[in-house]
Structure 1
Amino acid sequence: MSSSKTVLSLDSEAVFSLKDGINFKKSPDDGKCYIIYKENGELKACKNQCKHQGGLFIKDIEDLDGRTVRCTKHYWKLNVSTMQYVNPPDSFTQDELDVVMTDEGGLQLVEVIVWDPWLADPQDPQELQEGEVSYLTHACMELQLGGKKMIFDPWLTGPAFARGWWLLHEPPADSMERLCMADLIYISHMHSDHLSYPTLKSLSATRPDVPIYVGDTSRPVFWMLEKRQVQLTNINVVPFGIWQNIDEHLRFMILKDEVHPELDTCIIVEYKGHMILNTVDCTRPNYGRLPHNVDLMMSDFAGGASGFPMTFSGGKYTESWKADFIKNERKKLMNYKAQLVKSLQPKIYCPFAGYFVEAHPSDRYYKMFTILCTNSVLGSG
């Protein structure tokens, strides 16, 4: 279920004026930006949109070869001649647009658009019962859908991001038991606040055969499981945009992110004709095409990652600069989420996946202990 769309057209004069190296172009129709790279008469093209968090690229003044652009958001760098990110290395590959030459000597940049696969085989809504959706913690939701229990992104114990994040709210005391009783588990992507190795290790010790579903991304979600001594035997990698039927009333569909198609996914669950949309951490889920008027929509509302942007140091990166940067980034994120909810008009919206802290509660004790010891030493000296 896809089609091609021309996103930018250039006439023969504009094509002739393309210089060797990097060319920045903006569509006069919708204002979206693109990059065209020319070398030895050959053309490559991509969106001017960083796959990290959707920032805009500009010329990289440190690149003497004229092949690299730099993201204005987090300073990631892309070699447009190869469509590989060089900073950080071995990270993403930029998606190319098709360059189609016209008979008149112009060109068109063509993008493949994914349409609305959830419209396949529609079902009439049936009456629901109370208490069929429960929140556990962070991005972990439990859906009790008739006789089936479905759980999203179980991070129930331990830290994430190399001890950089800790759960803000302790999950219910029986949450691990409930996880072990799940009929199916969906894990959206490999970030450790969604793919929690401590949680999965506990799960594998009790019920290694629990059905787990992930999208067919180019970066395998579970490539580190064996190294972390996590033995799960029923992992199901499913294609995007196709209904997965669980029983006569329950089905789900996994969709990929436009900005991070090799990494991020989201999910639509339909139960008795009622839809739940969980966009999780996707920057632009399913190319921006999502179902409207769903019964329940969930999405993250936190930005950045552990320590960000404290990894910037020196020069202009003062404490006040960092504070302003964080404020502006979070404001942009909240505006985007608000616009997405406004456009989709869900009956209920649930923001989640932002309930973490960057210091373990015990750190407060150690900090106070250190201060007391220091004061004691200074006082005795």
Structure 2
Amino acid sequence: MLTKFLGQACTLIETNNKKIIVDPWIVGPCNVNTWYTLRNKAATKKDIPTDVDYIYISHEHQDHFQQETLKEFSKKIPIYICKFKTKRFYNEIVKLGFKNIIELSSWKPEALTKDLEITSIQNLDLMFEDSALLIKSSEGTIFCQTDCKMDFTSLKKVNAAKPDIGFFMYSVANWYPDVYNYSKEKRDEIAKKRKANKINGFVNYVNVVKPKYAIAYAGGPLFPHKSQLELNNPDTGVFGCPDEPKKAWNDSGNSGTEVVIMAADDEIKIDGTHVKNNESILSTNKMDALNELSIEVQEDLNRRWKAEGEASSKLSTKIIDYFNKIISENSIARKHIDMKVQLIADGKNGGEFILDIS
């Protein structure tokens, strides 16, 4: 049983002559053309392993459901997802042309072959639809948390499956506080606290699940556009680096699990043998490599940003319609929302918008 780490939350598991890829994001940026995976050089289409037997996608966020990568796979490959409360995610996959989409009930094992099964694990959050994955074969068991937040009971159930290898989130995956109107001092303070909380979360997750080997992943993207380079600063940025959770684990005094730092394209065997490939590990030393990556992708990024165009003159109406649609799809979550949010959009047709969800 061999697992290849392909960046962010993308893993390729090969066992008993079958291949399953999880959360494939390999080429191009995501999240309005700003995020790149933690690599020295940008990946190309030839780096996409399209010869897989199965695809699993944990949820709809673009760093897990990245359409530019998915378009390279055959539309006949079965795609497995968790059965969520709404059909929003399912329908987005249908739009890409995939013909065989299978929804899995949470915690119900699904046999792919006589000696390979997967178990989707839904998070318990009322609003966010997300999932983790257990992969079990006659050769071993692997747990992929993706960036699914999990409660103690769920983690203990994963522990009972006795995973040999576990991939665990260690970093935030959103823009808070970077795009909020705080002073630099306030932003840095919030970022430091959020980053520490996520790294402590990694330690806690690993300590409960107790795999033989743990890998920190699903975090720490790169922002190579020249206007966003400061977001990568490991001293002030909110995004963690993979050497930080390893250090936190080693300093915690916990035992029984070895934390392995993997770079994109590295492989790990079920016995913990770590096979290094072309990419060096980018951690708190990433700024020099990032500057080179920035030069490499700048022309492409500028082209992508220009192609985005300007906001519609109907932006305010579209914002209202979007949030009404999202909220209307989940009647359970709707009962628990009581808040007001101010959005500020720069540029032509921008402005200030107040969402009163109370």
Shorter-chain TM-score range: 0.5 to 0.7
1:302 equivalent to 2:171? Answer yes
Secondary structure, aligned partner of 2:113: coil
Q: CA deviation at 1:278?
A: 1.1
Q: 2:10 aligns with which of 109, 120, 140?
A: 140
Secondary structure of 2:117 counterpart:
strand
- Residues 208-260 of structure 1 deviation map (CA, whole Å, 9 limit, x = unaligned): 10111000012332333465xx2111111111111111112111110111225
Structure 1: distance between partners of 2:112 and 2:129? 25
Q: Are the structure 2 counterparts of residues 226 and 217 from structure 1 closer, same or farther at C-alpha, using a change threshold of 3 Å?
A: closer
Corresponding residue number in structure 2 for 1:210: 77
Distance 1:287 1:249, change over 3 A: closer
Map of 2:47 onto structure 1: 175
Partners of 1:140 and 1:276 in 2: CA distance: 13
- Answer yes or no: is 1:276 the counterpart of 2:127: no
* Structure 1 equivalent of residue 63 of structure 2: 193
Aligned to 1:110: none
1:326-345 mapped onto 2 (5 Å cutoff): 326-345=191-210
User: 1:239 is matched by which residue type in structure 2?
Assistant: S
How far the C-alpha of 1:319 sits from its partner, in A, is 0.3
1:235 corresponds to which letter in structure 2? I
What is aligned with 2:214?
Answer: 349
The 1:327/1:252 distance shift into structure 2, 3 A limit, reads same
Q: Distance in 2 between matches of 1:320 and 1:364?
A: 31
Q: Determine if contact 2:156/2:209 at 8 Å carries over to the other structure.
A: no
* Greater fraction of residues in helix: 2
Query: Are positions 1:318 and 2:180 aligned together?
Result: no
Counterpart selection for 2:109 from 223, 230, 243: 243
Distance 1:310 1:193 in 2: 18
CA distance in 2 between counterparts of 1:183 and 1:330 reads 36
Q: CA deviation at 1:344?
A: 2.0
Relative to 1, partners in 2 of residues 1:365 and 1:232: Cα closer, same or farther, differing over 3 Å?
closer
Q: Secondary structure at the match of 1:149?
A: strand
Kept in 2: contact 1:134–1:141 (CA 8 A): yes
State the alpha-carbon separation in 2 of the partners of residues 261 and 183 from structure 1: 31
- Aligned partner letter, 1:175: D
TM-fit CA distance, 1:304: 3.9
Per-residue CA shift, 1:257-295, capped at 9, x if unaligned? Answer: 122575010011111162211111111256443322420
- What letter is aligned with 2:68? P
Contact 1:217 1:262 in 2 (8 A): no
Aligned position for 2:223: 358
Equivalent-residue separation in structure 2 for 1:155 and 1:183 (angstroms): 17
SS in 1 for 2:91: coil
Cα shift at 1:302: 1.4
1:291 aligns with 2:158: yes
The change in CA–CA distance for 1:287 and 1:133 in structure 2 (over 3 A counts) is: closer
2:156 maps to a residue whose letter is R
Alignment of structure 1 residues 21-36 onto 2, 5 Å: none
Which deviations, in whole Å up to 9, do the C-alpha atoms of 1:299-348 show, x marking residues without a partner? Answer: 1211141x3213321xxx21011011011011011112101211222100
More divergent stretch after superposition (163-172 vs 152-161) = 163-172
User: In structure 1, the residue corresponding to 2:90 is in which secondary structure?
Assistant: coil
Gaps of 5+ in 1: 1-128, 370-381
Counterpart among 125, 137, 145 of residue 259 in structure 1? 125
Gaps of 5+ in 2: 226-293, 303-358
Please show how residues 2-151 of structure 1 align to structure 2 within 5 Å. 132-151=2-21
Contact 1:215 1:239 (8 Å CA) reproduced:
yes
Which structure shows the bigger proportion of residues in strand conformation?
1
- Residue pair 2:35, 2:221 contacting (<8 A) in 1 also: yes
Moved over 6 A (4+): none
Counterpart secondary structure, 1:277: strand
Could you tell me which residue of structure 1 aligns to residue 307 of structure 2? none
Residue 136 of structure 1, CA deviation: 1.5
Scaled by the length of structure 1, the TM-score of the pair is 0.55
1:358 Cα deviation after fit: 2.2
Change over 3 Å in CA distance of 1:172–1:363 after alignment to 2: closer
C-alpha change, 1:260 and 1:140, in structure 2 (3 Å) is: farther
Percent identical:
21
